[in-house]
Each structure stands twice: as structure tokens, then as C-alpha cells.
Amino acid sequence: MSTNPSSRFRLPRPSAAALAVLCIPAALSAAEPLASATPHVAVEARLLTPISTYSARRGMPISAAIITPLCGGGARIVPAGAELRGVVAGVRKVGLGLVHESAGLRLHFNQLVLPDGSDYVVATRLFGIDNARESVGKKGYIDGIRATATISNRLGERIAFAVLGHPAAMVPLFVLESGVFHFPDPEIEFGRGTVLRLNLEPPEQLQGLAACPMPEEPSTPAEWLAVQQAVDELPYWTYSKRQSQPMDLVNLLFEGSQDELQRAFTAAGWTGSRDNSMGAGVAAIRAIVQETSYADAPMRTLLLDGEEPQLRLQKSLDTFEKRDHLRIWKRPERLEGRELWASAATRDVGTTFGMHPFGFTHEIQDDVDLERDTVVHDLVFTGCVDSVAYVQRPEGLRETGGQYRKGVSTDARVALVTLNACTQPRENFAAVEPGPQPGTLVRVIRRITLTARNHFIRDNLFYRSADAARLSYLALRNLDRQAKGERRARRIEAAAHDGAASGN
């Protein structure tokens, strides 16, 4: 086995199953802890069957493609691309809002089908959905949002109450409010390519499965030297045009052409980003108050070596608050004669209002390595990747003033992804067609019904006091988490400097 501090592996092109050698690392550590005797393994899967509570029926067949290869006894048993099949086990539809205020969904995957056609009965439990506004309970039940809890609906209610004494103003104000802020659709809709996180209990024939370890391919000293030098020359941080402190960590390198980059990310379901403008800002506010997605949302301009990025890419589901996103800069150096592109990838996990800069901004996931690995998994699954190398950064890059972004933690490795032409991706999630939508009359009746129910249930002193207490608790808990994140980042930074000092 190689003794290099970097780990590199090759993915042969001809076979789709041979491409499935990437394991899901710490990104799946967020799964609910299980007893050590329980033979569960955490997996990621991409939904192949679009699902909507508006049209789904109990018993409807569904399938998802596993993107976590599983190994046992030193052999790859479940390659990426293996299918999980099952049914919709339960649907709670909002409809006209007469019975339910929010939608609900239960997915039951109970069959594992391998590429060779063999199939097994398995037990699974959903514990997460990437970038979803919906929540997943401990038993795997998916709960949708309550549309009347959104900021847009609350604004609409305030307008309605304000004009009760002036009925003539009702119609124009209602039209104005509806034109600016739409009533959110409370139904659940997951398109093809939605990333599901599940705990899977293998059958008796496949006991002992675990995420496959990364294989290493011996490389010549000259190859390792070229790879390490490319990483050594990378700046550690990106910077904002308006702020001097570090912003996003540079944690990815891509080897290939711009066309190969764009084809790979398009096949993985990533989209571009529009330029910042007044219109883009208004659209962002609308997405926040309506709790809806914003597929081409703008990004703050960050600089690498004083240069703006050539590409801005993102992947979201049904909310603007959560998304995977990255920026990509072309590097002046080449590797093995091919172009190099540096990238800073982070995951947005919520929106906050800040003063520097002023306005709404995103809060990112503290452990930025998880997002780095998410990008790698997405691209490898498409079949557009030839190899991946995880390369350790030199400690000296962090010694210029000890700069770091508060609350961010990292293992200080860069993932070098070597792309191929990507002319025939394994799966293409670029075009996700929306499911059937309710008619205008249904939407109008639903809004009136849900708004009236919300008014009678919640517009009272008792409920508002309890809600204020709940929001205060959540705010204090969030501040505590941020403080703990900053302390953890400082400990990691201090340990790294102590290790460098002892090494000298």
C-alpha cells in the first residue's frame, strides 16, 4: 500500500459497476445512532420515481439507485447503481385543506436488486432528505410544511385584517400581496434525483456489509510530486470583494476541460447561478418568505487570487434555505497537460439576517469536508470521473496570521477529481419535470380554508405566547450551537499549530 499522504484511486471507464468505488464517509455520520449489535449500514440513494402527495397513492411502486457501494469480505457486493425498490406506504394529502393542514409521506423500500439481476429482501428506514424543507421523523415519516406558518401568508393575513374597516381597499391590496408573495404549495413533491439517506439492514446472505474503503493505486514519485505541487500552490481561502476576512475554503481541484466540467455537473443535476441584481434580490426574498426553491439563485462574488470565478453552480430541492453550491476558478498551471480548476464547495443549511453584509445571508455547514465529499459522490455516480485523489495540504499555508473562518472545521485535504469526456453519463438528472399540479380553483379554495383554520386555531394570546417561547428557545439553541462550532474550530486550529510546532 502506498505510503503517500495523499490517497488516489482509478475508476475504469468501460463498466458502470466498475465506476462504483466511492464510499460515503463522514457525510453519513449524521444518521441517527443505532445500537452496535444492529446490522444497519447508512446509504445514500437517488430517487428514480418522482413522488408527489398530490398524485401519489398508497401502494404505488417506487425505486431509487444506491450511490453508496457496499463491501463485505474484501469484495464489492453492492455496487453503486444497485436499485432499492418498494412502495409508497402512506400518503397524507392536503387537498382542499378541510382535513389536513400539512402533507405527509411514508416510503417503504424492501427489495435490493443488484445489477446482475439477483434480488434480496431488506429492511430500510429513511432518516434524511438532502436540501428538503420537509422534516423526517424518527420512524422515517416525512412531514410537510404548514403553508400558513410561512412569512408570506402572515403578511397576507395582516393585510386582510388591516383593510377590514375599508372594504374598498381589500381587492387591490389582496391582488398586490398575491402578485408579490404567492401562497406556498403545502403538498410534498420530490423529483427524480432527490437524494435520500437511509439506514439499510442487509439480508442474512449479505451480513457484514459496510461502505467500501477507498482503494489506492500505486503511482510513480513523479506523479505524486506533480499532484502535491498543484495542491501546494492553491490558496487556502477565497475572499469577498468587500471584506478582508477569509470566506470559503478551497477544497476541490478538477482536472479536465470546461466542457467536461459542465457536462459532469449537468448530469449530476447541478444548475447555474444568475448575476446579482435588484431583481435577483427580490426573487431571493420571495423564495425565503414563501419557503420555495430558487434554482438559479445568485451567489456572493468571491475572489481567488483576486480573480472572479468562471463558474457558479448549485443544487437544491424545494427550499432556498438549503443548497449545495460551489464556485470554480481556472488555474494557471496544468496537470499532465490538462487544465486545472479550483473550487470552494459549501452547503447552505439556513438563512439568517446579517449586518456585514447587510441583508439575508446563508449559514453554511460547519464541517466543509462533508460538502467536498458530496460533490465527489455526485460526479462519480454519473460515470464522468476517471479518478479521485485526496491530497493533504502543507501546514505552511495556514501560518500567515492563522486565518480561518469562524465555525469552519476541515481535515485540510483537497479532493483532486480527474474527469472524462462524459459523453454517456450513467444517469442524467438535468431535466426534472414537475409533477401534476392542482387547478386554480383548488388552490384558491385551499388557501381560504387553511387561512381560516389558522386564524381560529392560532390567533389568540395563549397560542402566541407559547409560540414566542418556542422561537426564543430555538434562537438560544442556535446561538449555543454557533458558539460551540467556533470553539471547536479554534481547538482544531490550535492543535494543528501545536503539531506543526512540535514537528519543527
Q: Which of 95, 86, 85, 80 is nearest to 24 (CA)?
A: 80
3-state secondary structure of 85: strand
Residue 150 lies in a domain: no
The CATH number covering residue 64 comes to 2.40.128
Query: What crossing angle do the helices spanning 151-162 and 278-290 adopt, rounded to 10°?
Result: 90
Please, where are the H alpha helices in 34-169?
151-162
pLDDT of residue 278: 84
pLDDT of 261 over the 50 cut: yes
Q: Are residues 314 and 364 in the same domain?
A: yes
pLDDT of residue 435: 73
Q: Are 239 and 247 in contact (CB under 8 A)?
A: yes
- C-alpha cell recorded at residue 186: 403545502
pLDDT of residue 177: 54
Write the pLDDT tens digit of every residue in 90-109.
Answer: 999 998 988 998 999 999 99
Write the pLDDT tens digit of every residue in 377-405.
Answer: 889 889 899 888 888 887 655 544 344 55
Residue 472 domain boundaries: 460-504
Residue 2 lies in a domain: no
- Single pTM value for the model: 0.78
Query: What crossing angle do the helices spanning 170-180 and 151-162 adopt, rounded to 10°?
Result: 170
Q: Which of 108, 26, 9 is nearest to 61 (CA)?
A: 108
Pairing of strands 7-10, 252-255: unpaired
| Number of domains forming the structure of the chain | 3
Residue 70 lies in a domain: yes
Q: Are residues 63 and 192 in the same domain?
A: yes
What CA–CA distances, in Å, run from 99 to 3, 93, 96, 102, 449? 63, 9, 8, 9, 10
Left if phi > 0, otherwise alpha if psi is -120 to 50, otherwise beta: which for 281?
A: alpha
Residue 380 lies in a domain: yes
Q: Are residues 399 and 465 in the same domain?
A: no
Mean pLDDT, residues 436-461: 81
Q: Are residues 344 and 401 in the same domain?
A: yes
Confidence of residue 355 (pLDDT cuts 50, 70, 90): very low
Q: Are 125 and 110 in contact (CB under 8 A)?
A: no
Residue 297 lies in a domain: yes
- C-alpha cell recorded at residue 225: 510530486
Backbone angles phi and psi of 64, in degrees to 5: -145, 145
Please, where are the H alpha helices in 383-460?
440-458
Q: Are residues 410 and 465 in the same domain?
A: no
- Using CA atoms, how far apart are residues 315 and 265, in angstroms rounded to an integer? 9
- C-alpha cell recorded at residue 191: 423529483
pLDDT of 239 over the 80 cut: yes
Mean pLDDT, residues 191-203: 93
Q: Are 235 and 248 in contact (CB under 8 A)?
A: no
Decide which of 394, 423, 452 is a domain's last residue. 423
Confidence of residue 207 (pLDDT cuts 50, 70, 90): confident
